[in-house]
Structure 1
Amino acid sequence: MRDVVIFRQNQFRVSEIFIAQQAEALRRYAPLYLGRMRFGAGPDGARTLLLRDLWGRAGWPRMGAQMLTRDPAPYQRLLAGRRPALVHAHFGTDGVYALALARRLGVPLVTTFHGFDLTLSDRYFLRSPAWVNYPLHRRALAREGRLFLCNSRFLHGKALERGFPAERTRVHYIGVDCAAYRPRAPEEETPVILHVARLVELKGTDDLLRAFARMAAGHADLRLVIIGDGPMRARLEKMAGALGVGERVLFLGARPHAVVMAWMRRAMMLVLPSVQTASGRVEGLGMVMLEAAACGVPVVATRVGGIPEGVDEGRSGLIVPPRDVESLAGAMGALAADRERRAAMGQAGRAFVAGRFDLRRQTAILESWYDALVRAIAPDGASL
């Protein structure tokens, strides 16, 4: 097996478990996680190389300098002479850093776009030291990167608008592990509406609270469980109280993925009422919807960004206009009142995800693209 560098400067974020899930599903390539810092435990036995481990706590000035200069030398030092088959960066913001490394190593660079990296306005990137290099070097990334993958058709269109070459830019759903997420039994369902999201404007959690307050009076046993943390948490907790549903809304904060999936199996529905922010940021797809469908849980979501691609509308879930609290409350109430409809939507959702978003099939496609890139630079007759 050849090594493939999985490049993400902030490795193993709880909200980005899909990166490691894809990497661990590889069969002909061995993932080597490379980045700046660790934000979670990562997969068991994962080979991880981090600048924080190289430089320790006193290394902040060095990391700051590397952030600004994109110097690949520290990453080469971590690799200690290894020559991976290729580098796969996640998020365009990290692709511009991985580009310098791939160029130095002489290997192809694959970049996957997930959302904000194609929708956020450039003026917001330029405000952040961690992101400022992205708009400055995006043209070089588009010119030299060997393959660009978009996690939805919506993002593919955005990538072409941003100047990424059509001949090297493809739609590729990462998918979910349908073998790991089995459909839940009917008796597992409880009167819980689940929302899993970082608590930021993009996720529309404030609209969800307003909608829940409108429909909750007719469903006395219902509870709203919110898993995730973020800068809006305190304001949202206060809002729940002001709306009179504070005792019926449970804010659990960030939780490990296993805990999220345990709650998923108990939920009567998952709600993802995402919006487009003033900065232009919009949902690329919404991986949590695919996980819900894989477990046989129906979804209520908004018609924004790539979200409609993850719902078989009317069969696996309901889609409403963004920022339309009345429609959101109506959809939630309709599902809460109809157990048979929820069960039918759960079955349809499972079939929909298995047919279009199965992780192992999608990863096999990815590896075939890896193979083609490696062959293109291998000497005649050399094996992979």
Structure 2
Amino acid sequence: MNILLTTISLDSQKGGGTAERTRRLAAHLAAKGCRCEIATMQDGDLAENLRQRGIRVYATGSVRLRFTVPFINPLRLVQSVRRADAVHILGYWNLLSVATAFLASQFGKPYAFSAAGEFVGLEHPRPIARLFHILFGKRVIRHASLLVAVTPLERGQILERFRLAEDRVAVVPNGVEEDAEAVSHSPSRLEAPYILFVGRLAEVKGPDLLVQAFADVASEYGDVRLVIAGPDFGMRSSLETFVSERRLGDRVVFTGYLGEIERSELYRRALLLAVPSRAEAMSLVALEAGVAGTPVLLTDQCGFDEVERIGGGLVVSATVEGLRGGLRSMLADRHSLDEKGRSLQTYVRGEFTWPLIVDRLISHFRSMLANRLD
């Protein structure tokens, strides 16, 4: 089966979870015998990794105006679509998704479409976003053979928002590598116990909520530090100013962006991972921490409330108050953190490894192809 995947970026620093999801899907689809090709607007280290595996990557390049406009070579994209048996489009608010969906419809190629949480932008859209949805987005949704949700919660929201039939929306969650915990065994430079945040320093990820919550409880847990690991998307300066004002400069560590090996080490050695997101389709970093055996404190906006149900951590409101209470609860019961981590590890390994998830996706592709032939 020939599969074309599209995504905004294949740069690990700028593309975040959607870039990583695309890389893993492509690599595991190829391992299952599919011929994969990827179209993206932004080249990067993940694209190079895929090329080294023999997976074809077409990077359009782009320019940022009011909207990011890709420099699509129409002939090149047409060739990619025509080679495909099925298409998987990831990301809503971009013109590459629109162009790919249009060509797939023109050539009779079934496509699965995943907004990966981006439909939240329809709740209070700016005028340009509303125009995009009317002119382009509705058509992309209408002609999709399948809409892919990352969580059951997102599936329910899609069904309600667009009044779709139940069989039009399927859940294909994020995943992790089975052996992720064995990536590195180098000694840690952080000896003190620490709480870990991994993600972009952007408002949607909520690092400001976590830093404020930590500042409120720091005096109660004098041996614990907070490690903020992730690239700056406009918030680092204000966060550092707040930390300085609260005289916590020796308690809060900003590492900047870290690669996979360094992140894996931090996960394994952390007391817990905190995911303070204001909005998230499904927290990939929570899965990564889980497979490493680290418990998680996350908000109820992360699409992964199962963490608390299976005893792998706590779910709290996406507020300073909620996170502050969660930190107090987990740190006060520190002797139980290892047990919580093992519970989460068992659950993640049993439900969210990429081979299992890709098997599910291939099944959906086959159903799309069969329905097209009927």
Q: Which TM-score band (shorter chain)? A: 0.7 to 0.9
1:21 pairs with 2:16: no
The answer to whether structure 1 residue 371 and structure 2 residue 366 are counterparts is yes
Structure 1 unaligned segments of length 5 or more: list them.
53-58, 276-281
Offset of residue 344 of structure 1: 0.5
Question: What's the TM-score once normalised by structure 1's chain length?
Answer: 0.82
2:317 corresponds to which residue? 321
- The verdict on how the C-alpha distance between 1:226 and 1:260 changes in structure 2, with shifts beyond 3 A counting, is same
For 2:310 and 2:361, how far apart are their aligned partners in 1? 30
1:340 corresponds in structure 2 to 335
Partner of 2:146: 147
* Cα displacement (A) at 1:156: 1.0
Aligned residue for 1:179?
Answer: 179
Paired amino acid for 1:370: F
Q: Give the aligned residue type for 2:259.
A: P
Rounded Cα–Cα distance in structure 1 between residues aligned with 2:73 and 2:159: 28
Offset of residue 77 of structure 1: 5.6
Instruction: Give the superposition deviation at 1:354.
Output: 2.2
Residue 312, structure 1, aligned to residue 308, structure 2? yes
Are the structure 2 counterparts of residues 125 and 362 from structure 1 closer, same or farther at C-alpha, using a change threshold of 3 Å?
farther
Q: Which runs of 5+ in 2 are unaligned?
A: none
Query: How much has 1:284 moved relative to structure 2?
Result: 1.3
Indicate the SS of the match to 1:306.
coil
CA distance in structure 1 between the aligned counterparts of 2:134 and 2:317, rounded to whole angstroms? 31
Question: Normalising to structure 2: TM-score of the pair?
Answer: 0.84
Specify which of 38, 42, 47 is matched with residue 33 of structure 1: 38
What does residue 300 of structure 2 align with?
Answer: 303
2 CA distance for matches of 1:65 and 1:294? 37
Deviates more, 1:292-301 or 1:97-106: 97-106
* Deviant stretches of 4+, over 6 Å: 63-66
Aligned length: 357
The residue aligned with 2:273 is 270
Q: Distance in 2 between matches of 1:338 and 1:109?
A: 48
| SS in structure 1 at match of 2:356 | helix
Equivalent residue, structure 1, for 2:128: 127
Give the CA RMSD over aligned residues.
Answer: 3.1
- Look up the match of 2:280: 283
User: Partner amino acid for 1:32?
Assistant: E
Report the alpha carbon displacement of residue 168 of structure 1 after superposing the two structures with TM: 1.1
1:235 alignment partner, one of 229, 235, 238: 238
Q: Distance in 1 between matches of 2:295 and 2:123?
A: 36
Distance 1:66 1:191, change over 3 A: closer
| Aligned mates of 1:32, 1:125 — CA distance in 2 | 33
Q: Is the 8 A contact 1:5 1:34 kept in 2?
A: yes
Name the % identity.
25
CA deviation vs aligned residue, 1:27-82 (integer Å, no higher than 9, x gap): 13122111222143433424211223xxxxxx859x999949x9882443663x95
TM alignment of 1:203-242, pairs within 5 A: 203-228=205-230, 229-242=232-245
Q: SS of 1:32's equivalent?
A: strand
Among 280, 288, 294, the residue aligned to 2:291 = 294
1:51 aligns with 60
C-alpha contact 2:293 2:344 (8 A) present in aligned 1: yes
C-alpha separation in 2, matches of 1:12 and 1:51: 13
1:237 is matched by which residue type in structure 2? E
Q: Match for residue 116 of structure 2?
A: 114
- Structure 1 residue 361 and structure 2 residue 356: aligned? yes
